[in-house]
Amino acid sequence: MDLSEEKELVRQAQKAPDAFAKLYDQYYPKIFGYVLRRTANLEAAQDITSETFFNALRKLWQFRWRNVSFSSWLYKIATNEINQYFRKAEYKKSLSLEELQEQGFEPISTDDPESELIEAQEQLKQYQDFLEIRVKIVRLPAKYQEVIALRFFEQKQIKEIAEILGKKEGTIKSLLHRAMEQLREAY
Amino acid sequence: MKHDDLIKKLENLKTPEIELLGHKRALKMALLSSRLFKDRTIRDWTKILVPVATAVLLIAAMGLFAVIKPGLQPVHLGGNQISRFASYKQLQDFINTNAQYKAFHWRDEFLAVVGEGAVPTPSSTNDYSITDYSATNIQVAGVDEADIVKTDGEYIYVVSGNRTIIVKAYPPEQARVLSEIELEGTVVGIFVNGDRLVVFEEDTPYYPYDDIRWGPTGEFYMPYMPLIISPKTSIKVYDISDRENPRLQRELSADGQYVSSRMIGDYAYVVINEPVYEQDDELNLPRIYFGGNETEIPATDIYYSDAYDYYYMYTTIMAINTQNDDQEPTYETILLGASSNVYVSLNNIYLTFPVWGSEVEDLPIPESSIHRIHIEGDEIEFVASGEVPGMVLNQFSMDEYGDYFRVATTRPERTSQNDIYILDMDLNIVGSLEGLAPGETIYSARFMGERGYLVTFKQVDPLFVIDLSDPSSPEELGYLKVTGYSDYLHPYDENHLIGIGKETTDAGEFAWYQGVKISLFDVSDVRNPQEISKLEIGDRGTDSPVLWDHKAFLFDKSRSLMVIPVMEAKVDVTKYPEAELVWAYGQPIYQGAYVFDISIDNGLQLRGRITHIDDPSALEQGYYYYYSPYSVQRSLYIDNVLYTISDAKIKMNSLENLDYINEVQLPS
């Protein structure tokens, strides 16, 4: 999807579910992956991803193309949600999705969500190196966790990280530098 | 570990790539079914925000109110009083003190809706004559609303862009274009009153070439002056005693945007908004142009009330006698917010605009500021101001009955609720019915004497019947829950209502809207209203202008006739998996006037339909979607002839059997 196509989709998505669906298909794996790599918790990743997309939909009509791409905008919402998750002892679950399921709205899928989750837990355990280093990273202040995750796990350019976090590129560079210093001390 | 090693380690780290397909699908369906998605919500907000947006844009362009000036005492009147400013200085202090920086906070959101058709609703005419032709569908008997099509039983007057075309229409065999009036600006509506044609023109300023200066390096720039993009609204009165040669008799203009208009008896009234802006510490003042003179309305002639707002507008009401050219026009100006809805009874104009309260979930909770202006002939008098919680949907949410003003509002908080307020003529609330249908939103309202009808919606459509006989305690009598909702309610007779809206498919905690739905409700048993007949047209994506413009609706009880323009869409079921059919949009397959038989005994039946699009495949290919010149916009009848009108032509069919009689091409 090129930028102009995406722009058009975002414009349409404010009214048409079909257009929003395309954006969702494009970005769900990225956002879910990002949240999972930050939290290493599949349940939390589901809740935070749900909340991120609901917030995006809620705020979509306010979204304007400026200097921030739609992708960065989504990452920004997700980052805020992750920070909330870390701050609170118990993260407020995505009610909207839960409610829907309670009211008999079953996902149209032959997959069994329970067994899928168990399988995913097993998969996650196999990323031993990642989990080890992540334990050290989460002990750092949130501002350092963000930049490390975006830079190394999401492979974002400094410019994109600046967009997502709403900070200057110079700030991102020094944050990264200090984050690495602190992480090194943990070893 | 060394710094570089750590970086290398991180760069080469294998990170989890896991997908939960079940969650992905469930979330997708949940999102797409969310009520956040109702495109209606967006449309309604757009309607209300556009005037606000325009104002804020203009203000932003000038950099006005960017700083709250400290040390000034707000001017407070208290109560519902209205007064005039004592001086220009007082007006300036009032603006500088009361207008808040907050407007800028909302700028981004507003910008997002600008340009999505800030076209003010044209309004239309009705002589209460009893000859056999149909008039514009209006709200209050005797209060005509300007429209893009008018007839007097022999001629049809049609607006197309910047032209007003006079067509000899009856008898249909002799139909032909007689004359056209071409104006520079856009015609937003017309009235016809005997041998007088009243045209409302909105003229956006242009930059004459002379005003463009060339910079030293070849770039050009506009001089500072015309930065204010404020249109000018004109009322033009034509003598059409000779329909082939209309003659301009009088012209009255004011700076600002057309909001609405009405005609009562021989007097035409227009409401115009102009944003207040400041340049070099000087405030603009409204200007009136008449008879070659330009008059600035002095601050001491401008009314104001205690309305607190983020920005201000001059709302000017002008009255002109359409028959007597010797009578001077009159006008009054009040300093208000951006009027978004206008209701006019035989003696009063009511203006409402949203006043933003605190924010919840990034959405402000509006209250509605209401202002009553008494009109009688050429007299215009600002009388009272008041406020009610919630937001007013449209003119049908308001009504004057006896000495009371009734209004239905929605508070669009996260858990919305709907209220009815009854106010006295000083606009003090004397009675209320609050908290109707929590979580739902008003889709349509209609007041009929001592009863009120309200359609709210979230999953199903409750039609509420409200007893208004005691102004101090309105009471809910009963309600009916059916699928779908009505955007427009029209009285069939005192015990029956026609509802036009969309069918919906319930899907748990939300609903998908589907095709256009027409219902006939029996409300004779107020505690137990019934839907006695219904029809659904097309699939999801089907639309009708009646859903947002009542003037597109034609109904005549004695003829059992109802006509509405519809763009019908069909979903190609082979293109979507079954699970997605419910939210799939159909492709347009037909646009035209749908003609119905309607009666209590036989309910609703489609008699036939009339299109102006000769090649239906063009429609399917996506041409001629909504704004095609061949889209039927209005219909009317004269005797036994049904006239359907698009920008491109007027088509005549027999009302007996809908057979084609004739057509007239309109100049483009």
* Tens-place pLDDT, residues A126-158: 888 899 999 899 889 888 999 999 999 999 999
User: Quick one: which H or E segment has residue B294?
Assistant: strand B293-296
CA distance B205 to A177: 55
CA distances in angstroms from B287 to B227, B234, B258, B316, listed in the order given: 17, 12, 14, 10
Residues of chain A with CATH 1.10.1740.10: 1-111
| Mean pLDDT for chain B overall | 80
- Using one digit for the tens of pLDDT, what is the confidence trace for B111-146? 222 222 222 222 333 333 335 889 899 999 899 999
- The answer for A 111-130 residues in CB contact with B (under 8 A) is 111-113, 116-117, 120, 123-124, 127, 129-130
Q: What is the dihedral of CA B640, B645, B649, B655, to 10 degrees?
A: -20
The two structure tokens encoding residue B267: 């007097």
B90 touching A, CB under 8 A? no
pLDDT the model gives residue B44: 36
**pLDDT at residue A102 tops 70:** no
Kindly report the backbone phi and psi dihedral angles of residue B104, in degrees, each rounded to the nearest multiple of 5, phi listed first.
Answer: -70, -30
Three-state SS sequence of B478-508:
EEEEECCEEEEEEEEECCEEEEEEEEEEECC
Contact between B109 and A62 using a beta-carbon 8 Å cutoff: yes
**Token pair 């409401």 in the structure block, residue:** B271
Q: Which fold has domain A1-111?
A: Rna Polymerase Sigma Factor; Chain: A (1.10.1740)
The two structure tokens encoding residue B521: 């409700």
Under 8 Å between Cβ of B424 and B441: no
- Exposed (0-12), middle (13-18) or buried (19+): which is B510, by Cβ within 10 Å? buried
B414 touching A, CB under 8 A? no
Which residue in A36, A63, A108 is closest to B29 by CB distance? A108
- Name the least confident of A13-17, B172-176, B663-667: A13-17
pTM of the model: 0.66
Instruction: Give the architecture-level CATH label for domain A127-187.
Output: Orthogonal Bundle (1.10)
ipTM attached to this prediction: 0.89
Contact between B26 and A109 using a beta-carbon 8 Å cutoff: yes
**pLDDT at residue B310 tops 70:** no
Name the band, by pLDDT with cuts 50, 70 and 90, for residue A109: very low
Which residue in B28, B36, B109 is closest to A21 by CB distance? B28
Residue in chain A closest to B510 (alpha carbons) equals A100
Q: What angle in degrees, to the nearest 10, is found between the helix axes of A113-125 and A42-59?
A: 110
Residue in chain B closest to A66 (alpha carbons) equals B108
pLDDT the model gives residue B126: 36
| Mean pLDDT for chain A overall | 80
**pLDDT at residue B102 tops 90:** no
Contacts of B31 in chain A (CB under 8 A): 20, 24, 53-54, 57
CA distance B49 to B240: 38
Which residue in B26, B42, B362 is closest to A107 by CB distance? B26
- Name the least confident of A25-34, B240-249, B334-343, B347-356: B334-343
A74 CB neighbour count, 10 Å cutoff: 23
pLDDT the model gives residue A67: 55
The 8-class DSSP code of residue B328 comes to P
- The answer for B 9-38 residues in CB contact with A (under 8 A) is 9-11, 13-34, 36-37
Name the band, by pLDDT with cuts 50, 70 and 90, for residue B207: very low
User: Could you tell me the sign of the dihedral formed by the alpha carbons of B381, B137, B338, B358, in that order?
Assistant: positive
Residues of chain A with CATH 1.10.10.10: 127-187
Euclidean distance between the first and the last CA atom of chain A, given in angstroms as a whole number: 42
Residue in chain B closest to A106 (alpha carbons) equals B26
**Token pair 């409402």 in the structure block, residue:** B352
